[in-house]
Structure 1
């Protein structure tokens, strides 16, 4: 039997058709967001909350060698758009 938690940790969220990125599994509940050239533009993390599933957009900051959270979104598409346009 598959539960919502299982789906969050193994299945990449579905993105709108035509979105020019793809998701590659990085860890349970975490995916690398790759642009059309295959370059990593950030990470998408799924978070299960009492109100529902949120998606966190994260980007690596090379100067500090840490990840920075760009925001939490109700839609995986909104989180990916944040990574695509906030360069």
Structure 2
């Protein structure tokens, strides 16, 4: 059976162009020890640097302003517990440290 040889780089991740998936401007500055990744419209996954998933940050609209809710995974990642609601995504991420 002949083998297939790849001669060009293969894209293994889907490139997201939806503006809703972009990281909020104020979270672009790195939070020491954490990795924040967009996973959906207004939703980001928070992990330890090169480690386990700690929880999520969700953007919500309240009275024409964005609020950011931090939710920590508990029970082996089966459930989540709300940690608080913040005015900035950076403040929400800080509660995971």
Asked if 1:76 corresponds to 2:89, the answer is yes
Distance 1:68 1:75 in 2: 19
Q: TM-score, normalised by structure 2?
A: 0.66
Paired residue for 1:3?
none
Give every structure 1 segment of 4 or more consecutive aligned residues whose post-TM-superposition deviation is greater than 6 Å: none
Match of 2:69 in 1: 56
The 1:61–1:44 alpha-carbon spacing in structure 2 relative to 1, beyond 3 Å, is: same
**3-state SS of paired residue (1:83):** coil
Which has the greater radius of gyration?
A: 2
Whichever structure has more helix as a proportion of its residues is: 1
Provide, for residues 20-60 of structure 1, a one-character-per-residue CA deviation record: whole Å limited to 9, x for no partner. 22222222211101222242121110001115100000011
Aligned partner of 1:67 among 74, 80, 95: 80
The offset of 1:17, in angstroms, is: 2.7
Q: How many residues align?
A: 78
* Aligned CA-pair RMSD: 2.3
> What runs of 5+ residues in structure 2 fail to find an aligned partner?
1-17
TM (normalized to structure 1)?
0.72
Q: What 5-or-longer segments of structure 1 have no aligned partner?
A: 1-5
